[in-house]
């Protein structure tokens, strides 16, 4: 069953001179319940715009977004958006614990939200860091805080906007493993936007490749690699290398 | 913030850093003393600092200083609190709700540039010369810098933080209280710091014009009564009040913004 559906979504931005700029033209895409979908495309191809519309953070010009069968007009309770720039989405005046409590404090009150936050911090390997401030932690740890915050809301779906692009290569591997664990444990549906081909193949069940100007889905690729995936051996599998070759070929050809 | 052994070195370093400035101050006082005693400056205009010191000591020892000082402090405080509260509320409203901005912006831009001292005479017509008039004058002076800074701070809140609040389902009220206000706090406090100085100016002026109560009235009254040493003594008390208010505010500001890069340990 499809959990997230984008139904011929078109997006136009107002233009100071002339007609509005159509940056996305009738894009249709659906993510099945429990699926890990990667959306792959070069920078500036409208990946984030697509994800923000899926999250109800940005209105569509025409077409429809549905989550769990219901039309999205505002951020739905089922899905939480995880931002690329954790430094800008975490609140610098709040401790790590209170940043995670952020997700639910308006529903269950500060005190219970803090208890819930402790549990989530343990899940992402940050037990004992509740009293720190975000700026006292490394980039990778800050992104873990952002993930813990998203999990605290107990969403059915995560919408992730290049969540690992701002951290170093080793930390990225750690965070990818963490996200796969969480996805498996909680049976989440994930849509993850990235420009990293390896990351898309390693994490996803299916990969949607985007074209530019205006944005559209050019290909839908079944990854077909067995799970659980391994950070080393999966990347050496023939299927991985074949896909990597194929996808990079498509991405690079467009740049020439 | 409680640290004795660890903070002492830092404090003594700060004392050493302040030393040259204190020496300049002492030299000027000594120079004045010499100049007045040598007759280069007329005693009637500027008594020697030591004589002012003696009068000041009398005021302090007799406790005579307390009532006027308290009156001025009360005035500054009430005006500051009322003006800041209105300024913050107005700034948040204008920064968050476009309708409020369109409604109030012309009014704010018209009244803001008027030196608020010029509004004291018309206020006296409506409110008399009592506390109401004085507090209103101080509040008006405090209001605008706070409002304009709050407005700027509210508009500057990072879109990404606001989107984080939206994706987690925060309502408008929760967002304003727990995201917009704390995010705008550095701007709000910067506005309040400007306003604190203005509050003191307007308090003294309102006291002078109303002819009753407080340090402002006394300074003018002593000058008119040719009690020049007393005038200077009250002036010193006023200066110390200004310094104390500013220092306290800076401490409070640092404490409230402990998370900002400049204030991190």
Across the interface, of A74, A77, A83, the residue whose CB is closest to B160 is A83
CB contact under 8 A, B163 and A83: yes
Chain B residues in contact with A132 (beta carbon < 8 A): none
Chain B residues in contact with A106 (beta carbon < 8 A): 168-171, 174
Chain A touched by B161 (CB under 8 Å): yes
Pairing of strands A21-32, A157-161: unpaired
What is the tens place of the pLDDT at every residue in A194-237?
999 999 999 999 999 988 777 888 889 999 999 999 999 999 99
**Is residue B136 pLDDT above 70, yes or no?**
yes
Mean pLDDT in residue range B165-186: 96
Please, which residues have CB within 8 angstroms of residue B72's CB and are 6 or more apart in sequence? Answer: B203, B204, B207, B214, B215, B216, B238, B241
Chain A touched by B42 (CB under 8 Å): no
**Is residue B2 pLDDT above 80, yes or no?**
no
Token couple for B32:
């004045």
User: What was the pLDDT predicted at B264?
Assistant: 77
Across the interface, of B167, B174, B178, the residue whose CB is closest to A75 is B167
Chain B touched by A20 (CB under 8 Å): no
Distance of alpha carbon A120 from alpha carbon A123, whole angstroms: 5
Q: What is the CA radius of gyration of chain A?
A: 18
Residues of chain A with pLDDT > 70, as a percent, come to 99
Mutation for testing the A interface, residue in B163, B164, B188 having most A CBs under 10 Å: B164
- Chain B residue with CA closest to A106: the answer is B170
Indicate the DSSP class of residue A78: T
User: What was the pLDDT predicted at A23?
Assistant: 86
Chain B touched by A92 (CB under 8 Å): yes
Chain A touched by B160 (CB under 8 Å): yes
User: What was the pLDDT predicted at B1?
Assistant: 45
Token couple for B170:
């925060």
User: What was the pLDDT predicted at B260?
Assistant: 87
Query: B4 falls in which pLDDT band (50, 70, 90)?
Result: low
CB B164 within 8 A of CB A83: yes
CB contact under 8 A, A80 and B167: yes
Mean pLDDT in residue range B125-152: 96
CB B207 within 8 A of CB B264: no
Chain B touched by A151 (CB under 8 Å): no
CB A65 within 8 A of CB A5: yes
User: What was the pLDDT predicted at B11?
Assistant: 73
What is the tens place of the pLDDT at every residue in B30-74?
999 999 999 898 888 899 999 999 999 999 999 999 999 999 999
B254 to each of A126, B246, B259, how far by Cα in Å? 29, 12, 9
Indicate the DSSP class of residue A20: P
DSSP readout, B186-234?
HHHHHHHHHHHHHHHHHHHHHHHHHT-SHHHHHHHHHHHTT-HHHHHHH
The distance of A241 to chain B (nearest Cα, Å) reads 36
CB contact under 8 A, A107 and B169: yes
User: What was the pLDDT predicted at B201?
Assistant: 96
Mean pLDDT in residue range B16-21: 88
What is the rounded end-to-end Cα distance, in angstroms, of chain B? Answer: 10
Chain A touched by B173 (CB under 8 Å): no
The distance of B76 to chain A (nearest Cα, Å) reads 30
- Name the more confident of A254 and A62: A62
The distance of B189 to chain A (nearest Cα, Å) reads 15
Q: pTM of the entire structure?
A: 0.88
Query: B3 falls in which pLDDT band (50, 70, 90)?
Result: low
Q: What is the largest CA-CA distance in chain A?
A: 56
Query: A251 falls in which pLDDT band (50, 70, 90)?
Result: confident
The distance of A199 to chain B (nearest Cα, Å) reads 24
What is the tens place of the pLDDT at every residue in B184-223?
999 999 999 999 999 999 999 999 999 888 999 999 999 9
Token couple for B46:
């500027």
- The ipTM (two decimal places) reads 0.91
Is it true that domain B47-263 has CATH number 3.30.505.10? no
Residues of chain B with pLDDT > 70, as a percent, come to 97
User: What was the pLDDT predicted at B5?
Assistant: 56
Across the interface, of A83, A104, A105, the residue whose CB is closest to B164 is A83
User: What was the pLDDT predicted at B7?
Assistant: 62
Count contacts between A and B (CB, < 8 Å). 62
Across the interface, of B169, B182, B260, the residue whose CB is closest to A77 is B169
User: What was the pLDDT predicted at A170?
Assistant: 92
Residues of chain B with pLDDT > 90, as a percent, come to 85
What is the tens place of the pLDDT at every residue in B231-251?
999 999 999 999 999 999 999
Question: What does the domain layout of chain B look like in residue ranges?
Answer: 1-43, 47-263
**Is residue B175 pLDDT above 90, yes or no?**
yes
Across the interface, of A56, A85, A93, the residue whose CB is closest to B259 is A93
What is the tens place of the pLDDT at every residue in A84-137?
888 889 999 999 999 999 999 999 999 999 999 999 999 999 999 999 999 999
What is the tens place of the pLDDT at every residue in A124-183?
999 999 999 999 999 999 999 999 999 999 999 999 999 998 889 999 999 999 999 999
The distance of A70 to chain B (nearest Cα, Å) reads 16
B184 to each of A133, A205, B18, B150, how far by Cα in Å? 19, 43, 32, 7
């Amino acid at each position: 069953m499809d959990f997230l559906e984008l139904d011929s979504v078109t997006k136009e931005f107002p233009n100071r001179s002339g007609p509005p700029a159509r940056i996305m033209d009738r894009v249709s895409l659906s993510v099945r319940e429990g699926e890990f979908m990667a959306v792959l495309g070069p920078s500036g191809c409208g990946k984030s715009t697509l994800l923000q519309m899926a999250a109800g953070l940005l209105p569509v010009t025409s077409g429809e977004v549905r989550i769990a069968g219901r039309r999205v007009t505002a951020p739905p309770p089922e899905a939480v958006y995880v931002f690329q720039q954790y430094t800008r989405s975490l609140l610098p005046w709040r401790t790590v614990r209170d940043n995670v409590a952020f997700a639910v404090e308006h529903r269950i009150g500060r005190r219970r939200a803090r208890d819930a936050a402790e549990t989530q911090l343990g899940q992402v390997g940050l037990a004992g860091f509740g009293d720190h401030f975000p700026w006292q932690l490394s980039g990778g740890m800050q992104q873990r805080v952002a993930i813990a915050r998203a999990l605290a809301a107990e969403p059915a779906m995560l919408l992730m906007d290049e969540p690992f692009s701002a951290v170093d290569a080793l930390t990225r591997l750690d965070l990818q493993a963490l996200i796969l664990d969480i996805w498996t444990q909680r049976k989440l549906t994930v849509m993850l936007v990235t420009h990293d081909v390896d990351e898309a193949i390693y994490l996803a069940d299916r990969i949607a490749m985007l074209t530019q100007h205006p944005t559209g889905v050019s290909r839908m690729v079944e990854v077909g690699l067995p799970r659980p995936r391994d950070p080393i051996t999966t990347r050496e599998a023939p299927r991985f290398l074949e896909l990597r070759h194929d996808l990079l070929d498509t991405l690079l050809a467009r740049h020439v | 913030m409680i640290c004795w052994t660890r903070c002492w070195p830092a404090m003594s370093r700060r004392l050493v850093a302040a030393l040259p400035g204190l020496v300049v101050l002492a030299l000027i006082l000594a120079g004045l003393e010499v100049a007045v005693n040598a007759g280069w400056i007329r005693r009637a205009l500027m008594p020697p600092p030591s004589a002012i010191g003696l009068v000041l000591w009398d005021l302090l020892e007799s406790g005579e200083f307390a009532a006027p000082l308290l009156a001025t402090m009360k005035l500054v405080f009430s005006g500051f609190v009322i003006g800041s509260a209105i300024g913050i509320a107005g700034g948040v409203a204008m920064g968050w709700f476009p309708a409020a901005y369109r409604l109030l912006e012309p009014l704010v831009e018209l009244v803001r540039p008027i030196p608020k001292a010029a509004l004291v005479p018309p206020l006296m017509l409506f409110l008399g010369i009592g506390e109401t008039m004085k507090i209103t004058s101080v509040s008006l002076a405090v209001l605008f810098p706070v409002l304009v800074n709050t407005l700027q701070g509210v508009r500057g809140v990072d879109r990404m933080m606001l989107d984080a609040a939206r994706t987690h389902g925060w309502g408008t009220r929760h967002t304003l209280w727990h995201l917009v206000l704390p995010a705008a706090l550095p701007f709000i406090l910067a506005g309040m710091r400007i306003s604190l100085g203005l509050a003191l100016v307007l308090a003294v002026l309102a006291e002078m014009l109303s002819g009753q109560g407080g340090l402002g009235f006394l300074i003018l009254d002593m000058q008119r009564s040719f009690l020049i040493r007393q005038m200077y003594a009250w002036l010193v008390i006023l200066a110390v009040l200004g310094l104390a208010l500013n220092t306290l505010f800076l401490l409070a500001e640092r404490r409230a913004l402990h998370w900002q890069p400049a204030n991190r340990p």
